[in-house]
Structure 1
Amino acid sequence: MIPTFVFVHGSGSSGHSWSVTQREMTWRGYRTLAIDLPGRGAGFTTAYHEQDLETFAAEPSAMSGLTADDFTRAVIDAVRRVRHHGPVVLVAHSFGGLPVTAAANAISELIDRVVYIAAQCPVDRAPGEYPALPAWSSSALFPAMAPVLVGDPSRQGFVRVNWRGADRDQRDALRKAISGELTEEEFLQVVVTSQPDEVFWLSGQEWDLRADKDSWGRIPRTFVRLTEDRSMPLAAQDLYIAEGDALTPDNPFDVRDLASSHAGFFRRPAELAGILDDLSVRAGAGSR
């Protein structure tokens, strides 16, 4: 049977990011669903658009009250609904790997394959411990984002990013960190839809979403390495792969390489769609 691909976006993003990928997959004959994780749209206020920074900095955020369970439940609900139509391939990008891993722990019997696209897949540690490891040390994302952060995430309980307030040099640093192959004009299209507010997942044990050997570990899985990624370095991607393989050596990751930055593939989806097509249940690679 032809599977449904359920796409889960990364941090600071929404289901909209998958629109071009979905069109490519539809042309190839697949059903797709791109979900919005909870709180999408938080921070899109008049103060943000008018760059009233004093008001923007003081505004509360819906993200501060959200938990890992809220994010995981959104993925589980989507999988349960589309499962009525046949096999499900769950696809995560970046931060989206956290609720996807938790959902796979909970409902492994409903998922035919999990695909991580430079996505976080914690096995040996809590998610927030990984960015402090040497494998992440070359990431250009954190220094590029520092000038446009608003407030103190550890105090606020959420992350607030003033994407619209970045000057040309700051935008260029962000572009190189996130999607270096895009032109400045193409990157502006990314910035305009980027979410100002995000959950502060680095804090609290409630975000300890490690892969479970007996549930997550039974699902066929693929890791798409983004070889030009300057946000999640290849060493960090390889660490997630190595830990997952060590957890379930009889069910290792199927590893694919994609010559892309952390988010550039969204604008040029043909190669990713080819990988997903090859992995589909229709091709027999994901059936269980």
Structure 2
Amino acid sequence: MIPTFVFVHGSGSSGHSWSATQREMASRGHRTLAIDLPGRGAGFTTAYHEQDLETFATEPSVMSGLTSDDFARPVIDAVQRVRHHGPVVLVAHSFGGLPVTAAANAIPELIDRVVYIAAQCPVDRAPGEYPALPEWSSSALFPATAPLLVGDPSRQGFVRVNWRGADRAQRDALRKAISGELTEEQFLQVVVTSQPDEVFWLTGQDWDRRADKDSWGRIPHTFVRLTEDRSMPLAAQDLYIAEGDALTPDNPFDVRDLASSHAGFFRRPAGLAGILDDLSVRAGAGSR
């Protein structure tokens, strides 16, 4: 049977980020669905567009009231809907690994494979504990975004980033951290579509949803290592893989390498599509 690929985006992004991947997958005969996680569009206010920073800094956000359950729900709903058509391959990028892991814990019987593309897969500790580990120390993402933060996420309950306020030097630091293969002009297109507001998942018990051996552990899982990633270093990616393998030694990660920065593969979708194309054969043959 032909599987459906359900794509889940990362932080500061939306389902739109998968457009080129979906076109490439469609040209190969695959069925796909890219979902939006909650709160997309929050922060795209008049104050943000006009760079009225005083007003922008005080505007509330729907992100402040959202929970991990709110983020898992659209993933679960999407899987339940498309499952009627056959096998399901759930694909996560970056932060998207958190709601995808929660969904895999909740409905393992409906998912034929989970694919993590440099995505978070917490096993031994809460998600917010990983960025403080040595494996994350070389990440260029946090230093690049720090000057653009608006307010204190821990006090306001959400993350607000003034992407459009970045000067050339700051944009270049962001580009190198996120999509080093892109030109300055290409990266500007990323900046203008980046979501200003995002949920603050780094603290709080609510986001402590780790991969469960008896549910998540039943599902075949693949980890796509992005070998040029400067946002989630290879050491951090390998840590998620090692912890997952220790949790389910009889069902280890199927590990694939892709020569890409953290988000560069979105612009060059053929590499990822080739990996997913191969996995579709396994999912179709092994449909449960």
TM-score by length of 1: 0.99
Query: Matches of 2:196 and 2:286 in 1, distance apart?
Result: 36
Residue by residue over 1:165-208, the C-alpha shift from the partner in whole angstroms, topping out at 9 and shown as x without a partner, is 00000000000000001000110111111000000001110000
Distance apart, 1:244 and its partner CA? 0.2
Q: What percent identity do the matched residue pairs reach?
A: 93
Summarize deviations over 1:200-239 as a string: whole Å, max 9, x none.
0011100001000000001001000000000000000000
- Can you give the 5+ residue segments of structure 2 that lack an aligned partner in the other structure? none
Question: Which residue of structure 1 lines up, in the alignment, with residue 230 of structure 2?
Answer: 230
Moved more, 274-283 or 92-101: 274-283
Q: TM-score, normalised by structure 2?
A: 0.99
Structure 2 distance, partners of 1:194, 1:286, is: 37
Tell me how large the CA RMSD over aligned residues is: 0.9
SS in 2 for 1:284: helix
Please say if residues 3 and 284 of structure 2, whose CA atoms lie closer than 8 Å, have aligned partners that are also in contact: no
Q: Secondary structure at the match of 1:7?
A: strand
Counterpart in 1 of 2:245? 245
Displacement of 1:281 in angstroms is 3.8
Q: Distance in 1 between matches of 2:175 and 2:277?
A: 29
Deviations 1:29-75 (A, max 9, x none): 11100000000000000000000000111100010000000001110
Count of residue pairs the alignment pairs up: 288
Contact 1:151/1:160 (<8 A) preserved: yes
Following superposition, the deviation at residue 287 of structure 1 comes to 3.6
Aligned to 2:144: 144
2:123 counterpart SS class: coil
Q: Residues of 2 paired with 1:93 and 1:286: CA distance?
A: 24
C-alpha distance in structure 2 between counterparts of 1:284 and 1:44, whole Å:
40
Decide whether aligned partners of structure 1 residues 78 and 284 sit closer, same or farther in structure 2, where only a CA change above 3 A counts: closer
Task: Give the superposition deviation at 1:267.
Answer: 0.4
Cα deviation code 1:61-109 (max 9, x no counterpart)? 0100000000011100010001011100000000000000000000000
Q: Which runs of 5 or more structure 1 residues have no equivalent in the other structure?
A: none
Contact kept? 1:3, 1:88, Cα under 8 Å = yes
Is the CA contact (8 Å cut-off) linking 2:178 and 2:231 kept in structure 1?
A: yes
Q: Is the 8 A contact 1:3 1:282 kept in 2?
A: no
Change beyond 3 A, Cα 1:234–1:97 = same
Do the aligned partners of residues 159 and 94 (structure 1) sit closer, same or farther apart at CA in structure 2, a change above 3 Å counting?
same
Shift of 1:144: 0.4
Q: Secondary structure at the match of 1:92?
A: strand
Aligned mates of 1:176, 1:16 — CA distance in 2: 22
Equivalent pair of 2:87/2:111 in contact (CA under 8 Å): yes
Distance in 2 between residues matched to 1:34 and 1:177, nearest whole Å: 24
Matches for 1:151-190 after TM superposition, within 5 Å: 151-190=151-190
Is the alpha carbon distance of 1:135 and 1:177 closer, same or farther for their aligned partners in structure 2, counting shifts above 3 Å? same
Sort the Cα spacing of 1:69 and 1:194 in 2 relative to 1 into closer, same or farther, 3 A.
same
**CA distance in structure 1 between the partners assigned to 2:24 and 2:149 by the alignment:** 34
Give runs of aligned pairs for residues 45-84 of structure 1, distance below 5 A.
45-84=45-84
SS for the counterpart of 2:285 is coil
Question: C-alpha distance in 1, partners of 2:155/2:174?
Answer: 24
Q: CA deviation at 1:282?
A: 6.3
Deviation at 1:286, TM superposition (A): 5.0
Q: Distance in 1 between matches of 2:258 and 2:141?
A: 19
* CA distance in structure 2 between the partners assigned to 1:121 and 1:100 by the alignment: 9
Pair 1:212-2:212 in alignment: yes
